[in-house]
Structure 1
Amino acid sequence: MQLCLNTACDKPQNPDNNKFCQNCGSKLLLGDRYRLLKVISQGGKGRTFLAVDESSSSKPRCTIKEFLPKNQGTVNPQKASELFNQEVTRLAELSQHPQIPQLLGYFEIKERQYLVQEFIDGQSLAQQLAIEGAFSETQIRELLNELLPILQFVHDRGVIHRDINPENIIRRPPDSQLVLVDFGAAKITTKTVMAKPGTVIGSAAYTAPEQLMGQAFFASDLYSLGVSCIHLITQIHPFDLYNNLDRKWVWQDYLTSPVSKELAKILNKLLATTPKDRYQSGSEVLKALNPAVIPRKPAAVALKLPIAVPICLTPSWKCVETFYGHLSSIHAIAFNPNNQTLASASADKTIKIWNLDGTGLALSLSGHLSLIDTVAFGPDGNILASGSWDYAIKIWNLGADCKDKSLVNITRTLREHTGWIRCVAISPDGENLVSGSEDKTIKIWNLATGELRKTLFGHSSAVNAIAISPNGKIIVTGSADKSIKIWNLATGELLYTIEGHSDEVNSIAISPGGQIIFSGSADNTINKWNLGSDKLLGSLSGHSSSVKSVAISRQGTILVSGSADKTIKIWHPGSGELINTLSGHSDAVTAVAISPGGRAIASGSQDKTIKIWRFE
């Protein structure tokens, strides 16, 4: 049987071979691709389905999460799209963990957004409890020792799951490894957000008291894990394990076999009413659970690479606009974080700011005396840094909307390099500017004051590319000497050198999770490296000439490259599979960038034009 997606249909069940609902007439294949088998869960944010991907010969099962914008408290399509992109970003990063379902892709149909995830075909702990009966102390300890590191991984990325319960913990065959599923209720946290009342989400029997009041903390997940454990060890529903009169848990009264005082103490601390009385992290619980183990750094997790991509249902990437105005080749482009404008730098000595709403040129900035090779926006979008072959770096204040020339001013010019400026990058916190030059050095500047903090030496030729890790701690540089170097931003220490390209390195991109480096080279390849070692994870081949520029989306879902072969290529960052090749420029593609939302690509070329490509 298959389901009709129409929420108004009162008889949604249909035979497998039907193309249209026999009750309401709606088309049954979602996006002409996915056949919906059943509803797995349903809530205020939308529905989750078990589905089959009919476009694949193997017809694999997957889960599809449907977001209903109106049910998310907003009817603003732009706001709904922002929320959706947050969800994609969060899941793409979390799904790198081998015990969290893989995010496979995403798409939109009629203002409704859909996420496609790996289907975990296993037995939930709730099912195991029903079949095998109450868990033993040994089983509970094994559960905690395996699940707590997963939960710590989630919390370390600023995410609260908010729905830990036996239904959402699955044993995956054949090795019975636990997998934590259903991040539909998860919330990204900050210090301010954690303390604010919000939406009450989660399975009530397992939900922490503060979460029932609309607040959630990392300790709220630990509470839910504790409740799950006492349910599993007693086989009694949590509502029956709490004495409302005395306001205390009485789970030990229902044990069929005694447990050690040590485990009872741990579970009771997990179940404390107030968050401050509980353990504050998964690592803290693990330490209490294994006191005899010598403390050591947590074992490194063998992360999966995110492979989710915008799924092409009918349209694909299309050139929707071409900007003309530069008098010479384009050398760099950058999207403003506000997603409203784009900056381009040219050999004609100008920077141009373009509107992305279809109205064209907003500003043209002059001040450099030679070719401008690089531009970078600060995190607030008001500050722009540019580097030129005149040996200077200029810091521009563009004003709030980056469109009023009367508000634009050069706040400072930095002149410590003794060669062409090839690349600049601004740290995520907006405090540091890092520059690379033909003079073989990297310089770290205080962006606010212009003070030169450090000069880094190590490359034997021009520094062509710079990227800063998402956490702002690591600098990665690529050089004409064919090497990549990894530096500590705070100390300037050279951590290690990566070698593997057979020609100069032109461009560097770092995955949003901070785990992977992508390097584009004049040897026509893009190499993929583990950030943390010099291990080569793969090489992407397809361009027939030098790879001039690479960029990865904030969601970690697509990698884009531009080449002297005049094409732009779109790749799966994880699998390395080539998704699409975009043609349209009449000369080398020297620069590529991806919009903050991941739905637009910009390309700059030696043909003096900039093209905007959108996924439609």
Structure 2
Amino acid sequence: MTICCLNPDCSHSLNDDLNKVCVNCNTALFPLLRNRFRVIRVLSQEGGFGKTYLAQDSDKLNEQCVIKQLAPRIEGNWALKKAVELFEKEAQRLQELGEHPQIPKLIAYFEQDSCLYLVQQFIDGQNLLEELESRRENDTWLRCYSETEIREFLLNLLPVLQFIHECGVVHRDIKPQNIIRRSSPKDLLGDLVLIDFGSSKQLQPKLKLKAGTSIGSHGYSAIEQIRDGLAYPASDLFSVGATSFHLITGISPFQLWAEHGYGWMSSWEKYLNYPVSDEFGNILDKLLKKEIEQRYQSAAEVIADLEQPQNYPVFLPPLISASEQFIPPTEIPAKPIYPNLKKLKSVLMAIAAITMFLTGEFWYWKTREAQRSNPDSIAQPNVQLSKTEETNQSLGQAIAAQTLNLNYDSVSSIAIAPDSKTMVTNSIFGVKLWSLVTKQEISVFNDHSLKINVVAIDPYGTKFVSAGDDKIIKIWNLATGQEIRTLSGHTSEIHALAFSPDGKILASGSDDNSIKLWNVSTGEEIARFEGRDRISSLAFDSVGKILASGSSDGRIKIWDIVTQKLLRTLSNSSSKVYSVNFVEKSGRTNNNSVIGSYNNIIRMWNPLTGEIIRTFRGHSRLVTSTAVSPRSNLLASGSSDQTIKLWNLHTGELLATLRGHSATVESLAFNREGNILISSAQDRTIKIWQIPIF
């Protein structure tokens, strides 16, 4: 038999039950937690604050249970205090809601060895997001839920909501991940179980948090939760509607929120794979109303409408052949899959959507601005949008730029998603997610305890990562905004991150002079390279076999990923190397050439021979950032001379100088198509440049 180490930082926690201490981290082992619970294995990480374990309850004939651990390791951190508060409230809610068969039972809540533990009933089954994704993996012809299945889902879940609302509790975070379908339903009991009451709140006449404190999950949560911190039973019903939409279309509401804010609900029908009945469409319409007064006010009202006699045909989705491409649950179709048959209704809905945007959305953002100007609010500073346009005769076309004024914030790292619709940036407030469609901030993620220095998005646009002064790396789900895992091992600040081309390996560089390679799927450290000075930049070649690193001592080093050896040192300047890039084969440039910047020049090398291919001169001061366009022969460089320069990679010719920033340009990023360049500078602005493709 094995015994599980309870050290939240232990990466290999399983031990032989004869061991007294963990063979991996040397932490004392406990055969039984609180002399009752035998911990079997780790189920998941809990946002960097502990783990969730599968265990056996020795007082109940070794019945399986789930143990959530909260291991506070950082003093005075707001995120930690909030986590402790939510952890305790989850235990309180589970205790209050008692013996309902569709809510996990609270078994125990206690503190041991400076950690908090919550023990609850184990629910054997899949959550609905896993169930939806498994349909695709198993090549099921019914890839998304049918109308009949959604009706069954609602009639199964809504009585649970009616119960908790009558108990004075609002869940506040209903989404597919928080609903589990039992593998073996018990007789006539519902087979859906509602979990994760960590965000729930006792219902009061006016449930209001501190101004600007949003609660819930973007896309699934009603506007009153995200904007005002208010939550009512009708707020949970909006989340039920958004969850139903996700299940019936396979499209994540979070992605739609990222693009359209709350405008997508007025035209939800255009994302359907197949038509639904008018009666069911009216129910989903009312669940998804933006304004709370127009929504269902109780679960009982929804149930009553669902149980009306059905004297109409229920449409079933057409048979889909295995060869047809399926759009993943987190991907939005470029065009509606099913054209709406009700032309007139579509026109009216479009007019309503425009009206809503011009009125409701405008005042929504104005409200946010007012909240952020309030000194008592903890909301982030307002972002104002302005437009400028610059014309460069070298390109022969106008290069338009939009400016995001950050006011109190600063950005030194930018990453653009492959679909060019979203970007992430570092921030003094956390990691910020932006919509490049609306040019608005979508969300802020702040589970780091100190400043975040660098962000990156994986090549498929499914994950993003963040790292900084707290010496840890966090991996996030880009579609849902949920934290996946935390990577720890560096002993000093982290300033560089890079994904391999296949997205399976993450490289990190730190002020501890080391580079670490991580398995993205498991979080395991798979290699470590030692440098001579602080690592400032990293880049993989196009096939993921070579890694380039730039450091504060002016060296650019080429590492072999397969043999884990240093191949060559390209530069030996006294100036810090702020950025390195690889250039794929294009025209007369060599395959996998390396771009590096130091002092006020940029050089291109052959990484295998060390031969200098080309030198780019033109900046009058230090070059602080570079970016290579994936689809054209453009190199962009930013400098402390406050300019951005565009270069021809084939010839080294200076094509254009972009002016507009009033301080050092700190970060540059091209989108995948190469027609957008985004820059940030110490003047607390982000500029979005439209670049002609030639």
Higher RCO, 1 or 2 (CA under 8 Å, sep at least 6)? 1
TM-score, normalised by the number of residues in structure 1: 0.47
